[in-house]
Structure 1
Amino acid sequence: MSLLVTHARLITIPAGTADPGYIEDGWMLIEDGRIAAIGSGTPDAAADETLDVAGAFVAPGFVSSHSHLFTSGLRGLGVADTLYGWCDAMLGTTAHMTPEQLYWSTLHGSLDFLSNGVTTAYNFTDPLQAWESMVDGKRTGTAGIRGLEYHYRQPDGTLDAGIRFVDASGMDVTVGSSDEVFDRFAAEVAHTRAMDADFALGSSIMGQVQWSPHPEAAEFEVEAMRRYGVTNQAHFLESPEAVEHQQSKFALYRDAGALGLGLMFGHFIQTTPEIIAESVAGGASMSWQPASNGRLASGVALVPEMLEMGMKVGVGLDDQACTDVSDPWQNMRMGIYMQRARTKDPLSMMPELMLRLHTLGGAEIMGVDDRVGSLEVGKFADFVVVDPRMPDVGPLWHPVRSYVLAMSPRNLKAVYVGGRLVSENGVSTNPLAAEASAKVHELPAAVIPLRGHPH
């Protein structure tokens, strides 16, 4: 099956250059779900079907390099709290959810991402070990652990939604013997690797050193990275509480050898110049979540400085429970505005760079940029159709900059994954969408009696 997209304001985000790859009147040929050719003007190709977008933008689907899709039914919680109190409200609720409830909430969150133009996500699953409240930035690690089905049903929901994803699992090293920890994690990885590899793009570790009281948590994660060939993204230096304690744990990852294996730091806000320098030298990257960092009063990561030093950076939407609206344009604008307000320099974050970080940059740190993140021949045909005239934003003096600064989900007319329409005017084409919505709306009645009303 082939599709020819014509008369597009094409933004390709090619690798190896800072140029956004803008083509004023572009076309794109898709064959068997992948991009076969790209050009300008009159197409020199034919296809089974033609999609004339009549001057709308066609750009890569967004990549969220840090996401928690199971939280889609938990928006609006913990509004008066920073990270740890918000986790009490949100994860204190999921502690009472069943595997099937997690399946539907994950499916709902994945469809929500797709309907807002996000076609690939690095997805942290809710760990098997239930959430514990943090005290002075520490936890005991003694909470109970749930069965493997609790994890399995989360990537099941992601796959059934039709979003591409990297599946991240916590190792929960304080529960069980070493063999039990590795066997449990191996089973989670095996479950994901048995899925369609065009959608399940990889397995990863949800790095838990910042949360874990186990003195060898970093060594466990590094051994798993080597043993199973997986990546690792750690929530790290995020919250403004217990900063010295958080910073002291950087040495655990460094000394275990995690930096050289391509560790990703999620958030990476409460840093020091020394920590940044050692991370860059070691080969670590970071995922930046502007909207989440603002919502949780976490602070502003020093992204321009990190980029200048050579660190690779991706951008994530984090989750629906701490961004509330899965809007990648809002996320980009918040990132631009935060950095400019901090540095008082408009050049510190330009729209073209921000768009790259939320597409190809995210794919690069996730290790999937050979398949997604840009519109290039050979990659999956994952793209959005965005009409600058509905609603009309006026003349496009600088089209790519207008795409970042003036577009919103109101302008998003269609989302395609592998050349297949998955959302049109905000409405999912997935046959499970209505049931997912109904199941998520059942959550308050099912969960609140078990835990009391979350704050």
Structure 2
Amino acid sequence: MVRFGTIWCVTLCALLSEPAAAQNRILLNGNVVTPSGIIQSGWVYIEDSKIVSVTEAKPNVQASVIQSDDYIYPGFVDLHNHPVYNVFPRWTPPQLYNNRYEWRRAQTYLDTIQKPEVDLIKSNEFCDMDEFAELKELIGGTTTLLGISKPARDKPVPSCIQGLARNLDWYTGFYGTSAGQEPVANALGITPKGYPPIAADWPGDMPPERADEFRQGLQSGQFNLFVIHLAEGKRTDAEAQSEFGLLKSAQFLTPKTVIIHGVGLGTADFAEMAKIGASLVWSPRSNVVLYGETTDVVAALRQGVTLALAPDWSPTGSTNMLAELKYANDYAMTKLSGAISSKQLFEMATTVPAHIAQIDQWVGSIADGKYADVFMMKKNAMDAYANLVSASPADVTLVIVNGVPVYGTAERLTQAGVTGTEDIMVCADKRALNSQALTNGTFSAVVAQLTPKLAAENIALGPIAECN
């Protein structure tokens, strides 16, 4: 399917350094959340794609001005997601599983998620799925994400990947003007074909040729980041517990290694990770839904492991980072005796993942010289971090990526100099999209295209946001 929006993006993406190029100077006023604290009624001056200054006093500049009492936060960095699956509604598993291989081979999962996803990709819906998924992330304040798989391994990634949120797999704008320059490897798992703890007919997540490719990339310095799903299941599951040994045997435990989930890891494993400098990404909601428990993150932190937070995916995790922050905060308060504070959770969604991905010189915090990836949120609490972890998607009033206002209230977008918008409903509130920032045509056209394709699979299109 080719629409005007797709043709427009192909032309524009060839001319501009993506995700997009800022058209106006923007001056934001609000309570600015910086690494050194909150600047009450501070000012963030954005010129082109960068933050020029963060000040207490209003700078004397010519710019589009947005004055508010909102909080201004750095955009979230999501290191664990499966965005193309986020077009699906929430999946309620019929049971708890021992490990990820049980539900991935369950017929109910294959029928309701895996097969429909394959069918959508085969029917050339990748760009529609991508735009829907990236907007779902942006609505919750995420400006950088990881996890979008190419529709075909032997073909170039489609140009629609360049735009909206920064894509760590294929295009961030940090490593050149064309897609495919990112120094990132994202592995589905470590298990080989026929791995006995799973089944003799297991096809494997790590073919030998891929293992060699990853190993060579790590040893040569090709990768800054090696992300791998590992030890996902119950803490007592023998298969989940065995995978850390496989990781070490394959020479994949390195300072660049980022373990996703790690539910089956114990204190000794965390100590090894900390010693070598490997990191961990926690996705509690999906873990609890699928296995009834999650990673022992308190033990990981005590051993000195660097820990980030991420939503996993919409079917069993959270719709976006904002929703996962709320879930993680509730979990920390009720299950961990408050061992992780709301400020720590904020850092686990911003500065920490940016540092893990080695992109913290560009994004992850609000500071002079960094890219203007920020969002504004209504002030409903006196504490900025408590405000964040209790927020609804409807509280987000503006999202800016690379200096470009892409989403927010119609008033905020107009104040920021945006002239063409498309209305969108979020939590029964009207919001707007910057029409010129969309990479695959209008959002309404994306919905109109995906809805009947999913209906043919007896599935409804998932919500763009969950509001409870």
TM-score under structure 2 length normalisation: 0.74
Partner of 1:337: 330
Asked whether the 8 Å contact 1:72–1:106 carries over to 2, the reply is no
Letter in 1 for 2:69: G
Instruction: Work out the CA distance in 2 between the residues paired with 1:318 and 1:324.
Output: 7
Identify the match of residue 154 of structure 2 among 144, 148, 166.
148
Match of 2:403 among 404, 409, 419: 419
Whole-angstrom distance in 1 between the partners of 2:365 and 2:215: 30
Distance 2:231 2:272 in 1: 15
Superposition map of 1:283-432 within 5 A: 283-297=277-291, 299-323=293-317, 325-326=319-320, 328-343=321-336, 345-346=337-338, 348-388=339-379, 393=380, 396=381, 398-425=382-409, 426-430=431-435, 431=438, 432=441
- Letter aligned with residue 337 of structure 1: D
> Which residue is 2:229 aligned to?
235
Kindly indicate which of the two structures has a greater share of residues assigned to helix: 1
Q: Matches of 1:315 and 1:10 in 2, distance apart?
A: 22
Assess, with a 3 A threshold, how the Cα gap between structure 1 residues 158 and 288 changes in structure 2: closer, same or farther: farther
Q: 413-422 or 293-302, which moves further after superposition?
A: 293-302
- What are the ranges of 5 or more consecutive residues in structure 2 without an aligned counterpart? 1-22, 194-203, 410-430, 460-468
> What secondary structure does 1:277 align onto?
helix
Report SS of the residue matched to 2:120. coil
Contact 1:262–1:284 (8 Å) recurs in 2? yes
Is 1:63–2:66 an aligned residue pair? no
CA deviation after TM superposition for structure 1 residue 352, in Å? 0.6
Q: How many residues align?
A: 386
Which consecutive residues of structure 1, in runs of 5 or more, have no partner in the other structure? 129-145, 169-188, 450-455
Aligned to 1:437: 447
Match of 1:50 in 2: 65
8 Å CA contact 2:141–2:322 kept in 1: the answer is no
Identical aligned residues as a percent: 18
Paired residue for 1:5?
27
Deviations 1:293-315 (A, max 9, x none): 23323522222332232211211
Cα drift, residue 215 of structure 1: 7.8
1:55 deviation in Å?
Answer: 0.9
Q: Over the residues paired in the alignment, what is the CA RMSD in angstroms?
A: 2.9
Q: CA deviation at 1:67?
A: 1.0
Deviation per CA, 1:231-289, whole angstroms, max 9, x where unpaired? 22111111229821232221222133322241100011111222111111122101111
Output the amino acid matched with 2:187.
M
Mapped to 1, the partners of 2:370 and 2:65 lie a distance apart of 19
C-alpha distance in 1 between matches for 2:278 and 2:153: 32
1:55-87: CA deviations, max 9, x gaps? 111111112111111112222235325444265
**1:7-406 maps to which residues of 2 (within 5 A)?**
7-12=29-34, 14=35, 19=36, 21-40=37-56, 42-52=57-67, 54-81=68-95, 82=97, 83=100, 84-85=102-103, 87-88=109-110, 89-99=112-122, 100-125=124-149, 148-149=154-155, 152-153=157-158, 156-160=159-163, 162-167=164-169, 195-196=177-178, 202-210=183-191, 212=193, 213=204, 216=208, 218-227=211-220, 229-230=222-223, 231-240=225-234, 243-297=237-291, 299-323=293-317, 325-326=319-320, 328-343=321-336, 345-346=337-338, 348-388=339-379, 393=380, 396=381, 398-406=382-390
Distance 1:260 1:6, change over 3 A: closer
Q: Deviations over 1:136-167 (max 9, x none)?
A: xxxxxxxxxx6524x724xx44324x111211
Instruction: Give 1:194 deviation, angstroms.
Output: 7.0
SS in 2 for 1:260: coil
> Contact 1:207 / 1:232 at 8 angstroms: preserved in 2?
no
- How far is 1:195 from its partner? 5.0
The answer to whether the 8 A contact 1:35-1:379 is kept is yes
CA, structure 1 residues 200+77, in 2 after alignment: closer, same or farther (shift >3 Å)?
A: farther
In 2, the alpha carbon distance for the partners of 1:70 and 1:359 equals 23
